[in-house]
Amino acid sequence: MAINGSNFFDAPLAERSNIYEFGSFRLDAGQRILTLEGQIIRLSPKMFELLLYFVEHPNQVIEKDTLMREVWRDAIVEDANLTVHISNLRKALNGDLGRAVSIETFPKVGYRFSAEVSTLNQESADPKPSSVDHLDQLVAIRSQSKAAIMWAAVAAIVLVIGGIAFWVATPTPTRVPLMIRVAGTENSASIALSPDGQYIAHAISKFGKRALTMTNVGSGSSVQLIPPDDSLYYGMKFSRDNSYLYFVRLQNDQFTLDRIPVLGGQIVNIMNDSPQEFAISPDGSKICYVRRLPNGVSSMNVANSDGTGEREIAQRMMPDNYSVYDIAWSPV
């Protein structure tokens, strides 16, 4: 059953089990596989969904906004991203020597998938045998001539090896990462991403003031943690359990290390006269940082995550000072 209309991709997977043939290609919607004369053409998930939408709407001029709305339903996508995916689809379909398939561009309007598309349901589809099937058939042949059997088997092996070599040599479309602009971060600095990837902490600059802000990557909603003031923010880091944000703030010519819940709350001062950068231990119980001392000495220090129990663990003299910025704990 073919499913048309704007709600095509809302259909359950079981209802999208058609197999389509166009040119030398076969597209299996249920298995999400595109083949060219039995050889698999590798596509990224979004490239496959874009091609599937084209195949369901052949020989129609489809507007760009429609394609971006139907294929990238849960993401903000720019025209450039659609253009890249169209270009990669054209490369993938270029293997059809008969040139019976094309994607035409209509400037400032959209695209048209030009091809004669035939639809097969899952039951009536006639799968094309693989090279291994041919080998099984040839080996099963019984002949009075052992030499004939041997040569048939050798020929089948050569075909299999040749098919593998062709598959390896065939260029595959480049996977293009989907880049999504997170709204509200255009004028931000000192950005940090939470370990679970759900939140971005950033200082938004406006009219010479900076506000510490937390933004949900998925929804784009934001919470202002600290209102705008003259402070500068450095070295922001999330706790490993995503509960707290640690940050260094320069205020009134003094650096302080502070902590605040990720969705706002009371600010807790961890350390005064703190360095600009620090690292949190994997279990969240310790912090590590470098201090610059008089006479060209740098010291590596460790303290509890609440700022207590500071102790020096190593020293270095110029010119072999420890880097203030390149600090990290081992994973365990």
> Residue ranges per domain, the chain?
8-127, 188-317
331: three-class secondary structure by DSSP? coil
Number of alpha helices (DSSP H) and beta strands (DSSP E) in the chain: 5, 20
Question: What distance in Å separates the CA atoms of residue 235 and residue 279, rounded to the nearest whole number?
Answer: 9
CATH of 8-127, one of 3.40.50.920, 3.40.50.740, 3.40.50.12170, 1.10.10.10: 1.10.10.10
Question: What distance in Å separates the CA atoms of residue 248 and residue 232, rounded to the nearest whole number?
Answer: 8
Tokens for 33?
Answer: 């596989």
Are β-strands 232-238 and 244-251 bridged in parallel, bridged antiparallel, or unpaired?
A: antiparallel
- φ and ψ of 97, to 5 deg: -65, -25
In the chain, the largest separation of any two C-alpha atoms, in whole Å, equals 98
Which residue, 275, 192, 269, 274, is CA-closest to 238?
A: 192
18 Cβ neighbours under 8 A, 6+ residues apart: 1, 2, 29, 30, 119, 120, 121, 122
Element (H, E) at 190: strand 188-193
Q: Which CATH architecture best describes the domain 188-317? A: 7 Propeller (2.130)
What digits encode the pLDDT tens for the residues 76-132?
777 778 888 898 898 888 866 666 788 998 888 899 998 899 988 655 555 444 444
Question: What distance in Å separates the CA atoms of residue 40 and residue 161, rounded to the nearest whole number?
Answer: 16
Residues of the chain whose pLDDT is less than 70?
1-16, 95-99, 121-156, 158, 160, 162-176, 332
Angle between helices 45-56 and 79-93 (to 10 degrees): 80
Tokens for 114?
Answer: 């030009």
What digits encode the pLDDT tens for the residues 91-105?
888 866 666 788 998
Determine the pLDDT at residue 172: 61
Q: Do domains 8-127 and 188-317 have the same CATH topology?
A: no
**Residue in this structure with the two tokens 């209309």, named with its chain if needed:** 5
Question: What distance in Å separates the CA atoms of residue 255 and residue 301, rounded to the nearest whole number?
Answer: 17
Determine the pLDDT at residue 295: 81
